[in-house]
A and B are shown apart, each in its own frame.
Chain A
Amino acid sequence: MHDKNALLKMPPFTPMLFAGFMMRPVPAFFLKPVAKRVLARMKKLYPEIFSRLAVLENTKFLITPTDLQYCFYLSVEEGQTYIDVGVNDAEHPEFQAAISGPMIDLLKLLEGRVDGDALFFSRALNIEGDTEAVLTLRNAVDSADVSLVDILGGPVPFMKPGFDKLFSKIGSFFEYLEQDFETVHRSILLPITRHMDEIDKELDKSEDRMKKMDKELVRIKASLRKKQQSNHKFVGGMQ
Chain B
Amino acid sequence: MSEPDANPSSSPDETPLPAEIDEYLRRLGAGLDLPVHVRAEIASEMEDHFRDSIATIESEGLDGDRAAREAIARLGNPTELAAELTSAHRTTRRLLAGAAGGVFHATLGAAGGLLLGIAIVAAALCASAVVTGTLLRPPTEFVFAGLPALRAALAGLPMVTALLAWACCVAAFVAARRGVAISTRISRRTPAAVRRIWATAGFATLFVAAVFVVSAPQNLLSVLSLLAVPFAFATGALTSSTPRVSLPRRKVIVAIGVLAILSASFARNVPAWSGPPPDVADTPQAHAAQLREFDRVAPAWTYIDGHPLLAEGGGLWGSGVITQAVNIWDFVPGNPGTAAQALSLFRDVRFEAWRAVHFDASPDIAEWIPDPAHSAPYATVPADFNAGEINAGYARVEFDVSHVRTTEWIVFVTGIGPDGRRYRLNEPEFNMGGGPLESSFTGTIWQWLTAAT
Partners in one complex: no
Report B's interface with A, CB cutoff 8 A.
none
Report A's interface with B, CB cutoff 8 A.
none
